[in-house]
Amino acid sequence: MSALLLVTACGSGSKNNENGSKGNEKQEKTAWEKIEEKGELVVATSGTLFPTSYHEQETNNLTGYDVEIVKEVAKRLNLEVKFVEMAFDGMLTSLNSGTVDAAANDIGVNEERKDKFSFTDSYKYSFGSAVVRKDDLSGIKTLEDLKGKKAAGESTTVYMKIAREYGAKEVTYDNATNEQYLRDVSIGRTDVILNDYYLQSLALTVFPELNITIHPDIRYRPSEAAMILKKGNEDVIEKINGVLAEMREDGTISELSKKFYGGADVSVKQDLDFE
């Protein structure tokens, strides 16, 4: 009787293992397997943020620091890349809905976003600055002077959050061009734009005729930027991070940075004092 029970138990266990194996075979494909199967990485970007994601004037081709990093990552992963242009607010919604696989648009890494999304390793380090009118600095000496001032930007960015915290009045845009943002400060429709130092430095060089400058005394919020993906797509993150590591090692990221940021290597973290 004991022998019979033992054989029955072993037979039952074997059957369960067989069913378990079949069950595993029917498991849904991972995020990376789906991307690999279709052979395409779908990435959200704005197409309006110089020098991160913009269209060349001569050819209208989409390019920029983030865009070219994504192109190289896709190439090394043997994938085609499809860019979908949209405002920042739509990028996060599109990630959660699965409309896009990732977003790349100088997107800052912070704890609030890390709770809801996943990030690749960072490939840009910078800090916050303030574009103001050149002739009077828009009446701003420190961040405390933002109270009551008209701050331009998109409502969900970390920079607009900072403006709100200091009591500024929001003037929001829907995927507007750099020229519109900067011209509005110059003519007094708005007073200040809080944003990334490198982005604002380069944007100002394109419009030297405008009455705008980067505030000489305001530096804040050291930041990092990376590609952002839907929470839990760690297999995709692992693949992308592997390629990013190769690109750092062989100097590709540094070269792209210097190309798009006027010779500056934004892939290296700076040691600066901040407010």
| The pLDDT of residue 65 is above 80 | yes
240 and 200 in a single domain? The answer is no
Indicate if the alpha-carbon torsion angle 237, 239, 243, 245 is positive or negative: positive
Q: Is 10 part of any domain?
A: no
Residue 44's Cβ-count burial label (10 Å; 0-12, 13-18, 19+) is: buried
CA 128 from chain center: how many Å? 15
From the list 247, 266, 231, 223, the residue with the least C-alpha distance to 71 is 247
Q: Is 118 in the same domain as 201?
A: no
Residues 136, 184 share a domain: yes
pLDDT on residue 21: 47
Number of domains comprising the chain? 2
- The reply to whether 89 and 105 lie within a common domain is yes
pLDDT of 261 higher than 50: yes
What is the model's pTM?
A: 0.72
Based on the fold, state whether residues 189 and 114 are members of the same structural domain. Answer: no
What is the rounded average pLDDT for all residues in the chain? 89
Residue type, position 104, single letter: A
The reply to whether 22 falls in a domain is: no
Q: How confident is the model at residue 70 (pLDDT cuts 50, 70, 90)?
A: very high
Confidence check: pLDDT of 25 > 90? no
Q: What is the CATH number of the domain that holds 143?
A: 3.40.190.10
80 & 208 share domain:
no
Strand order in the sheet with 62-63: 48-49, 53-55, 62-63
Q: Is residue 60 part of a domain?
A: yes
- Of the CA atoms within 13 Å of residue 29, those in its CB half-sphere come to 9
Q: Are residues 69 and 198 in the same domain?
A: no
In a domain, 272, yes or no: no
271 falls within a domain? no
* Confidence at residue 5, expressed as pLDDT on a 0 to 100 scale: 35
- pLDDT tens-digit readout, 127-142: 999 999 999 999 999 9
Is residue 35 one of the residues assigned to a domain?
yes
Q: Residue 266: which of 209, 223, 203 has the closest Cα? A: 223
Q: How many residues does the chain have?
A: 275
Q: What is the DSSP letter of 142?
A: S
pLDDT-wise least confident of 2-6, 170-174, 226-230, 265-269? 2-6
240 with 202, same domain?
A: no
Residue 118 shares a structural domain with residue 233: yes
Look at residue 275 in the predicted model and tell me its pLDDT: 56
Structural domain includes residue 77 = yes
**The pair of three-digit structure tokens given for residue 61, joined into one six-digit string:** 């081709």
Give yes or no: residues 83 and 215 share one domain.
Answer: no
What is the mean pLDDT of the segment spanning 202-225? 93
CA dihedral 129, 161, 66, 211 (to 10 degrees): -40
Q: pLDDT-based confidence at 274, cuts 50/70/90?
A: low
102 and 150 co-located in one domain:
no
**What whole-number distance in Å separates Cα of residue 117 and Cα of residue 237?**
11
Task: Evaluate whether residue 16 is within a structural domain.
Answer: no
Within this chain, do residues 75 and 144 fall inside the same structural domain, yes or no? no
Find the range with the poorest average confidence among 25-29, 223-227, 243-247. 25-29
Q: E strands of 173-257, at which residues?
A: 193-196, 212-214, 220-225, 228-230
Q: Which domain holds residue 101?
A: 31-123+226-260
Lowest mean pLDDT among 20-34, 117-131, 184-198, 254-268: 20-34
Q: pLDDT grade, residue 15 (50/70/90)? A: very low
